[in-house]
Structure 1
Amino acid sequence: MEADNQPSVIPRKRKRVTNPRHNVLSASERKRRRNQNQRVQKAKVISIGKQVNRWKELKESLGLTNPSLAEVLLDTYETTKSYNTSTTTSTKMLHTDHEAVPHVPVSVPSRAASEKEPVPGTSGVLTSTPATTTHLFHMGHPTPGMSEISAAESESEGQLSGVEKILTTDSEDQVGPKQGPEEVQKEATEVSFEEMFFGELKQEDPQEEEEEEGFIGRGIHLVHELECEKVASSPMALCSVEQVKQLALTSITTCIADSDKCGKPVTLEHSFVGSALYVKWVCDSGHVSNTWCSQPILNRRLHSGDFRLAMAIVTSGNNFGKIEMLGKHLNLKMLSRTSFFQIQGHYIVPTIDDFWKDHQTRVLDSIRNKEIVVLGDGRNDSPGYCAQYCTYTLMDSETKKILTIKTVDKRETDGKSPRMETEGFRRAMSDLLQKGINVKEVVTDAHTQALELFSSKCCYTIKTQSNDTVAYISEGTYPALSHSHDIWHAAKNLSKKLTKLGSLRKHAALQKWTKDIVNHFWFTCRTATDHRQFVELLRGVLHHITGDHEWALGCCQHGELSDSDRNKPWLDAREDSDTIKELANILLHPRLLSKVKHYLNFRSTADLEVFHQHILMYCAKRYAYTPPVYRIRNVLAALDHNFHLGRSVKTKPDGQIQYHRCFNKKSGRWTVFPVKEEKDYSYLKDLTLQALLKRMQDRRGMKRSRDLEDADPRRIARTIMGQAPPPTAQLAAEQVSRFSGTPAFSSN
């Protein structure tokens, strides 16, 4: 044949022509064009599911391309369909007195072969019996007693069916050169199967939303452009999966009410109660055949979805106001504000308190028989001297677990915010000592009132009712405990003093040495073992900055310094004598040297500072909380911290540790830290279960008044002012506008 003698054509790789207008397209226009091209490519995609392997085998056996094979199969189906409408006499003659032979995929007719030439490799003879077509398209099992005619039998007998005769004729409408087996095989191997059948596969932007077109599944509604307004305003509700499965099994078309078997058609009516959706099957007569709720109902008709939503709001650190706004924007039905605070007060708060007590007991039991070093620090809910709450936390220095956490209200310290941290420390230490924990050392910051608790004598003053100041001197509360200071806070205070000194014009030469002096302070705290060695090492920096590395009473601890190590000029002992003298006054100040004993153990509360930052997730400073709610939100932060200690570090596919970099705007430096695995919050399942059981065991309900706890600060005073507030109407009447000079809230 002519197609066999024609040389194979190797397609050239087209040279990409740069469009001069491409550079002027905006990012949105390029994105729109890219999405349009992807939609065109997706329109050509046809999924055949699990039949891919069979398709590939048939394509390879015939030596066809995917479009050619699809054309063959479609033509076969049309030919067989028209063949079945003919008389059955010829069909019976073709299938009698022949043995059944296995199905050969080669024996499939095609319109291309009937109009042109026989497909290469088929010997020009193909069968078109109904049995072959039925087996190929899986339209049913072959009829018993009917067989397929092989190509060899048809050729030997010289009998051809109508379709077979068409395959041997040439077509006058043929366009383009014919292809032989080599050309067909070459075309099939040049492009991968996925590209030929599913179109060119392109890497899509993961941030772009995938657009599905056409049929996506029975029962799944594909939104069209005209329905967007309805979708944007349609209400939504919380549904339980089990309830949805129950609804899927419900099929009611006529009224089946027991009171009156009317049999009329029913319609669906829906309503909302809290976050739950109710659906009723109602006929024209008003009979209700069935009622379905999207959520299981707890005792006293409390929807489980409302309860779990209130629980999730608290345990995730959110606030009801934000979630309520989310529901309004999403048109998601929510529980009421009153229901949320009732569920929170009656069930969530006491459940979290009990859960923390059990968890704290297990933590303390693990360290009961050994001496521990605890890290302590306080955190106010707002900066300055106007804080209402203070959270004091004690952490185990070895395991980094939170041992106890106490909250103090301003009303419990006579309205004095600076006293709250000391009171919180007393409560936290008393909690550990009363439970039999052997504390040998406490690490805190250099809080003045905290220092008095560890001294042999404690001096404090009290004002009497006549405003007379009386001074008292007594023994410290914990004189037997070793007390260490946080090195980071000490280095921070030293850095502030050096920065302030270097900001002066005559001491500007000290600015380049500030960081090195602070680093030397860290080195001194880590190396020194007693007060004398500490002072000697700290004094050595005064010699080092002048280039003097050996002096009468000592020398520098570093080795030989090369020229590359010197990136700043030395200070001159004569010209910069005033600067060196001021630096010595800072480093050798009696107040700093009096705290040397607190630095020798080289302790840091950095992990505790990180935990206090984590509390912001549960207790944001922009929101006000009642004392019980503020307490349990701090407890939730402690539970989150303890349960997620020891998480493994994320690794890349090649096994390397995954890092995350962060830029510090204050220092102007980049920092890096390893990324840890995601938190699983496994304890929330037990916490939610205990809250549900507390609700199920409640026989009184939540629509009742709640008594204040014995230690609630609101028993001292209703507000932090300490006095009863004036009536609201009186405040509104007395308020005057600064702009008009008239009452700000006049009725007119």
Structure 2
Amino acid sequence: MEKGSGQGESGERKRPYPGTSVGSSGGRPLLHGPNRNRSVKEQQRQRDATKIYLLRSYVNWQMEKELYKHFHDLTFVSNADFAEHLLQDHTKRCQMHLFRKDAESQTEAFSAAVTTERSVDTQKGEETFDPATSTPLKKPSAMFCPMSPVGVDIEQHGRETADHTHTLGNSCSQKELQKELEYCSDDEGEEDKFGDWEDVMDELNQSKLSVNQLETSLQVDEEVFGFQGDDRDSDETPVFEPNQPKQDTQPFIDSCVKEDKIIVWVSKIEELLKQVHGETCPNPSCQRMLGYQNTFTGSGLKVTWSCCEGHSPGQWFSQPLFNRMYAGNLLIASGVILSGNSLMKMTHFFKTIGLKSITKDTFYRTQRLYVAPVVDNFWQGMQQGILSAYGDQQVVLAGDGRCDSPGHSAQYCSYVFTDEATKKVLHVEVVDVREVGGKSPNMEKMAFERGMDFLMKQIKVEELVTDAHTQISAAMKNSVKFQDVTHQHDVWHGAKSIARKIKKASRLRENRVLQSWLPSIRNHFWFSSKTSNRDDVRMKATFLGILHHIVDEHEWVFGTDGRPGKCAHEELQDAERTKRWLKKGSVPHKTLATELTARRFLNNLKYYKNFRHTGILESFNNHLLMYAPKRHSYGYVGFTIRNKLAVIDHNYHADRRQATQVDGTPRFQCKYSKSTGRFSAQPLMEQKSYGYLPELMGLIFLQRANTTGPLNQQVPMKENDPKRIHPRISLLPRPPIQELIKCHKSRFEPSN
């Protein structure tokens, strides 16, 4: 059998082109590997990327041509004539350096001296600046062709626009460029300025420019593919920006964070720039109108100006640039999180007042890349400082869990541990429902055990105070690792529990008299726990004395501890009485005795003998609503850092003092309770300073400076991320949307 022309001496097929491969069945060489399907998809991707880029360039082409016609007072300009104008202008720019002269204030001799000095600086590689605008002048490259400015803001699908200045690669010759520009558009009338989209796509399909050449020279792969939504560095500055002068990072960050900011109208900025730079070209031989273009990138504004001939180009930025990103965009994304606000509400607020802001994609990328690592490190430093200060000291902990949503459909549970003495939060543990097999009632136990395992390695835990959670109580009772830790229940939860049972029993008609005794019974539970002196037998005897007191018996022979009993109050006056006594042996008295002498209730009294209260945890859970409201849904990263921010806020202001009047008198505020129907005076604390926020914001800027790669880079998933278990909380495969649409039925559809 003869060898084919494409085979070598060994019988194997040769690769006719370097860097290519030939399929097993021969045929056309594959440009992207031996896999034919992969090669076809790659070629299609490149072709589509080229079309997308040319489609965007086509719109800019039409606007530039209209601006050229307007400046030259022409009624018609063909695409060929306009392409020839651009090529001639481009050739002129490539042969000389562009230096701007101040015709109003500088003499010709001084201008010549400045030009000579700038030429020397340019040869040395130093940055040159415009003395009129303090703007670094861009060094002209061999193939740099700035387009004329157009005073419009193009928004694509509601996203912030990038700069519409394009560059042509060195691989693109002038003839190929002219041919491509002629293919980009046809002559069109004034009624349809941008033409029909179908015609545009036909023109793009007929493009003669090489796909590989376009992808290499225009960097289509970076501009179009590999990014989702607003991934094209939407809130970073465009690629071709002048390099900023090197400066000290920390003073610059302090200026960005601490400097005052205001809201300015765009029209006022344009008015100011026109007053400074004028409305006509300063070149004496030109005197054409200057065109000003506004480009919005998030909350930042870039204004560029130039005449149609490209004379006296300039630009101005409304915000400082920090590592190719507007400082305001980084401040907004970080400030929304650090202040505990919601992106949805802030975006709605910005739209309401017409204020430019960042996109949702930019917010979440900033949270993931910069805010989350900074908050984690800041909290770890604060936590280690608190825990290391204990040494060998025995610590009494208080713990409580809180779900992220009301009802029984929670996704996250955060368990918080505080020090009963200092009232500071020592640890917070977050558990996702996927970690417990989708059963949300089991999240609190898992979070509790994780937190206790961590804290028992750091400090010596003597006692733990929780609510009467059955799973946690069982774990503290049966687990060997917790056998040296005393477990106590919160006295507030205990009093609330017994009051709820009595209130339920008092709904019956014959027991309604017990409703007036509810506050007294609840207060007596607190008194019994406080005076028990850590003796559960004494607490039991003291508390059950209410069964004698309620029937007007204030001394009795034997109590539950085997000793004579007596009420601790002084002699009561009948005039001070507001409740009537119960009759001994009556139905209300027997009902109360049944509730108070229940076996489970009496066995649990030992958990209240140390008189522990977790009111600080209830206050913290209420404070956590500021950072993570239960009516909002968050991702795992967002929910975790919001919990840590709430802890940082709480610990930073834990030592606040009570506010005072001018004369030093403590201040109080009046508060009304709907449940009791009474007013009470509460101490008024000093205002929070939030002194840690500037430090956090500065660390976020440093994180941006030290992070390599763009804003849209891929970040590896953490080891503890619940998405490693399952991408969704349903733990079930998601059916196709077409099947769900077919099965969808509405009760409000008209019946046939």
The TM-score with structure 2 as length reference comes to: 0.61
Distance 1:345 1:742 in 2: 50
Candidates 454, 462, 466, aligned match of 1:444: 466
With over 3 angstroms needed to count, the CA separation of the structure-2 counterparts of 1:237 and 1:717, relative to structure 1, is farther
The CA deviation string for residues 556-598 of structure 1, in whole angstroms up to 9 with x for no partner, is 1111112333222111225x2x322221121122111111221
Candidates 361, 381, 384, aligned match of 1:358: 381
Distance 1:648 1:362 in 2: 22
* C-alpha contact (below 8 Å) 2:365/2:711 kept by paired residues: yes
Residue 677 of structure 2 aligns with an amino acid whose one-letter code is: G
* C-alpha contact (below 8 Å) 1:454/1:483 kept by paired residues: yes
Matched, 1:549 2:558: no
* C-alpha contact (below 8 Å) 2:281/2:290 kept by paired residues: no
Distance 1:249 1:495 in 2: 75
* C-alpha contact (below 8 Å) 2:280/2:287 kept by paired residues: yes
The CA deviation string for residues 634-671 of structure 1, in whole angstroms up to 9 with x for no partner, is 00000010111122222333443332222222332223
Residue 251 of structure 1 corresponds to 276
State the secondary structure of the residue aligned to 1:647: coil
Distance 1:739 1:643 in 2: 54
Residue 690 of structure 1 aligns with an amino acid whose one-letter code is: L
With over 3 angstroms needed to count, the CA separation of the structure-2 counterparts of 1:556 and 1:611, relative to structure 1, is same
* C-alpha contact (below 8 Å) 1:374/1:395 kept by paired residues: yes
Cα shift at 1:322: 1.2
Residue 507 of structure 1 corresponds to 511
Residue 569 of structure 1 aligns with an amino acid whose one-letter code is: R
* C-alpha contact (below 8 Å) 2:304/2:316 kept by paired residues: yes
- Aligned ranges 1:241-640 → 2 under 5 Å: 251-253=276-278, 262=286, 266=290, 268-283=292-307, 285-299=309-323, 301-435=324-458, 437-455=459-477, 457=478, 475-529=479-533, 530-552=535-557, 553-574=564-585, 576=586, 578-640=587-649
Distance 2:392 2:733 in 1: 50
Distance 2:472 2:319 in 1: 53
With over 3 angstroms needed to count, the CA separation of the structure-2 counterparts of 1:255 and 1:485, relative to structure 1, is same
Matched, 1:667 2:676: yes
State the secondary structure of the residue aligned to 2:482: coil
Candidates 721, 743, 749, aligned match of 1:734: 743
* C-alpha contact (below 8 Å) 1:237/1:332 kept by paired residues: no
With over 3 angstroms needed to count, the CA separation of the structure-2 counterparts of 1:253 and 1:384, relative to structure 1, is closer
* C-alpha contact (below 8 Å) 2:281/2:306 kept by paired residues: no
State the secondary structure of the residue aligned to 1:405: strand
With over 3 angstroms needed to count, the CA separation of the structure-2 counterparts of 1:444 and 1:361, relative to structure 1, is same
- Aligned ranges 1:112-261 → 2 under 5 Å: 251-253=276-278
State the secondary structure of the residue aligned to 1:660: strand
Distance 2:290 2:748 in 1: 64
State the secondary structure of the residue aligned to 1:657: coil
Cα shift at 1:689: 1.3
* C-alpha contact (below 8 Å) 1:618/1:636 kept by paired residues: yes
State the secondary structure of the residue aligned to 2:431: strand
State the secondary structure of the residue aligned to 1:596: helix
Residue 164 of structure 2 corresponds to none
* C-alpha contact (below 8 Å) 1:255/1:287 kept by paired residues: no
With over 3 angstroms needed to count, the CA separation of the structure-2 counterparts of 1:360 and 1:249, relative to structure 1, is farther
- Aligned ranges 1:668-687 → 2 under 5 Å: 668-687=677-696
Cα shift at 1:412: 0.5
Distance 2:295 2:743 in 1: 46
Distance 2:383 2:359 in 1: 34
With over 3 angstroms needed to count, the CA separation of the structure-2 counterparts of 1:571 and 1:588, relative to structure 1, is same
State the secondary structure of the residue aligned to 2:701: helix
Distance 1:539 1:287 in 2: 96
Distance 2:510 2:376 in 1: 59
Residue 342 of structure 2 aligns with an amino acid whose one-letter code is: N
State the secondary structure of the residue aligned to 2:321: coil
Q: Percent identity?
A: 37
User: How many residues were matched structurally?
Assistant: 481
Cα shift at 1:268: 4.8
Cα shift at 1:736: 1.5
* C-alpha contact (below 8 Å) 1:650/1:658 kept by paired residues: yes
State the secondary structure of the residue aligned to 2:304: strand
Distance 1:571 1:676 in 2: 43
Residue 508 of structure 2 aligns with an amino acid whose one-letter code is: L
Residue 65 of structure 2 corresponds to none
Bigger radius of gyration among the two: 1
Residue 202 of structure 1 corresponds to none
Distance 1:281 1:677 in 2: 52
Distance 1:387 1:450 in 2: 19
Distance 2:726 2:291 in 1: 58
State the secondary structure of the residue aligned to 1:251: helix
* C-alpha contact (below 8 Å) 1:238/1:276 kept by paired residues: no
* C-alpha contact (below 8 Å) 1:663/1:669 kept by paired residues: yes
With over 3 angstroms needed to count, the CA separation of the structure-2 counterparts of 1:249 and 1:424, relative to structure 1, is farther
State the secondary structure of the residue aligned to 1:483: strand
Cα shift at 1:521: 1.1
With over 3 angstroms needed to count, the CA separation of the structure-2 counterparts of 1:702 and 1:271, relative to structure 1, is closer
* C-alpha contact (below 8 Å) 1:443/1:485 kept by paired residues: yes
Give the root-mean-square deviation of aligned CA atoms: 2.6
* C-alpha contact (below 8 Å) 1:257/1:289 kept by paired residues: no
Moved more, 366-375 or 286-295: 286-295
* C-alpha contact (below 8 Å) 2:294/2:304 kept by paired residues: yes
Distance 2:660 2:342 in 1: 35
With over 3 angstroms needed to count, the CA separation of the structure-2 counterparts of 1:268 and 1:410, relative to structure 1, is same
Residue 7 of structure 1 corresponds to none
Residue 702 of structure 2 corresponds to 693
Distance 1:625 1:250 in 2: 48
Distance 1:492 1:588 in 2: 17
With over 3 angstroms needed to count, the CA separation of the structure-2 counterparts of 1:735 and 1:342, relative to structure 1, is same
Structure 2, unaligned stretches of length 5 or more? 1-260, 558-563
The CA deviation string for residues 390-410 of structure 1, in whole angstroms up to 9 with x for no partner, is 000000111111100010011
